[in-house]
C-alpha cells in the first residue's frame, strides 16, 4: 500500500503535469481607455480571472486554462463599480457585477475557444460578431502547430454602423447591434423557417460586418471562413489590435 508521502508526491506530479499542458491566454489592452474584460466558462470548468477585472491601457494579464476548457472573452466598456464590485457598464455588462457569472449583454465582440482535451488534440477558436460589436479584438496563436490562423476584427465597426443598429451614449456610437438583436426576425436570427444555411443566407447587415472584418463570424452560418484551428498553442487576445 502506498504511503501518505508517496501519495502526496503523486498528486504533486499530476498537478504539475496539468500545469505543463495548460493553455495560457494573454489578454492585452491596446485601447486608449480602461476595459473590464469578462470571461465565461462554457463547460463547468473554473472561470478564468474570477469572471472579470479591470485592464488599463497598455496592460496585459495571463490566464492559464486547463485542457478541455471551453468559453469566451469579451470587453466591457464605460464601467463604474463600487468597492463591493457592483455597478454597470455601457457595453458588455454581465449583470451589474465586476466578476461575471454570465455572458455579456449584446452587442458585444466575442473571442470564443474550445481547447483540446489532451496534448495533441486540436483547439477551435473564432472572433464572433453574431452578438454585434463593441470593440475591436484579435486572436493570435503562439507556439502551436497546424493552420493557427489569425482571427480578428481590426476595423472600427462603430464608425460605419448603420443608424438602425447603433447603440449610443452621449451622442457617440459605443456599439453596433447585430440585425438579429435589432429586428428579432427569423430571417436575421436564422430561426423557424430560416434555421438552416440554405434558408438563412447572408444579409446586407451581415455582409457589412463581413466586409469590415473578413476573418470574424458575421452571422450564425458563417462557419467556413471564420472557425480557426491550432494544436498545442497559447493565445494572445488583443483589444483594439489596430492601436
CATH 2.60.110.10 fits 23-177+206-239, yes or no: yes
pLDDT in tens, 189-200: 999 999 999 999
pLDDT band at 226 (very low <50, low <70, confident <90, very high): confident
Q: Taking the CB of residue 21, how many other CB atoms lie within 10 A of it?
A: 14
Predicted confidence (pLDDT) per residue in 78-98, tens digit? 999 999 999 999 999 999 999
Contacts of residue 57, Cβ cutoff 8 Å, sequence gap at least 6? 29, 30, 31, 32, 33, 34
Task: Give residue-wise pLDDT tens across range 49-71.
Answer: 999 999 999 999 999 999 999 99
> Where are the chain's structural domains?
23-177+206-239
Which is higher by pLDDT, 231 or 18? 231
- Which residues does 50 contact at the CB level (< 8 Å), separation at least 6? 99
To the question of pTM greater than 0.85 for the whole model, the response is yes
Local confidence band at 242 (pLDDT 50, 70, 90 cut-offs)? confident
The confidence score (pLDDT) of residue 118 equals: 82
What pLDDT, on the 0 to 100 scale, is given for residue 21?
62
Which residues, at least 6 apart from 162, have a Cβ–Cβ distance to it below 8 Å? 205, 208
CB 126 within 8 A of CB 151: yes
Please check the confidence at residue 77 and state whether its pLDDT lies above 50.
Answer: yes
DSSP letters spanning 45-95: PPPGGGGB--B-TT-EEEEEE-TT-EEEEE--BS-EE-TTSBEE-SBS--S
Quick one: pLDDT band at residue 16, thresholds 50, 70, 90?
very low
pLDDT of 117 reads 87
- Cis omega (within 30 of 0) for bond into 40: no
Amino acid at each position: 500500500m502506498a504511503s501518505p508521502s508517496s501519495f502526496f508526491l503523486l498528486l504533486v506530479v499530476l498537478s504539475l503535469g496539468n500545469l505543463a499542458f495548460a493553455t495560457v491566454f494573454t489578454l492585452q489592452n491596446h485601447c486608449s481607455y480602461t476595459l473590464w474584460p469578462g470571461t465565461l466558462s462554457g463547460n463547468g470548468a473554473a472561470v478564468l480571472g474570477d469572471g472579470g477585472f479591470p485592464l488599463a491601457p497598455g496592460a496585459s494579464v495571463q490566464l492559464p486554462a486547463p485542457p478541455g476548457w471551453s468559453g469566451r472573452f469579451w470587453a466591457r466598456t464605460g464601467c463604474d463599480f463600487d468597492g463591493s464590485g457592483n455597478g454597470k457598464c455601457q457595453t458588455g455588462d454581465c449583470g451589474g457585477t465586476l466578476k461575471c457569472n454570465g455572458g455579456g449583454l449584446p452587442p458585444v465582440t466575442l473571442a470564443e475557444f474550445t481547447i483540446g482535451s489532451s496534448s495533441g488534440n486540436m483547439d477551435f477558436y473564432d472572433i464572433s460578431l453574431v452578438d454585434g460589436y463593441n470593440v475591436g479584438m484579435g486572436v493570435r496563436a503562439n507556439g502551436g502547430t497546424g493552420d493557427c490562423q489569425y482571427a480578428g476584427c481590426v476595423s472600427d465597426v462603430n464608425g460605419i454602423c448603420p443608424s438602425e443598429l447603433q447603440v449610443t451614449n452621449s451622442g457617440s456610437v459605443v456599439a453596433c447591434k447585430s440585425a438579429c438583436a435589432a429586428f428579432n426576425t427569423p430571417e436575421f436570427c436564422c430561426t423557424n423557417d430560416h434555421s438552416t444555411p440554405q434558408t438563412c443566407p447572408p444579409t446586407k447587415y451581415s455582409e457589412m460586418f463581413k466586409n469590415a472584418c473578413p476573418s470574424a463570424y458575421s452571422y450564425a452560418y458563417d462557419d467556413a471562413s471564420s472557425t480557426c484551428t491550432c494544436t498545442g498553442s497559447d493565445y494572445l487576445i488583443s483589444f483594439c489590435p489596430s492601436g
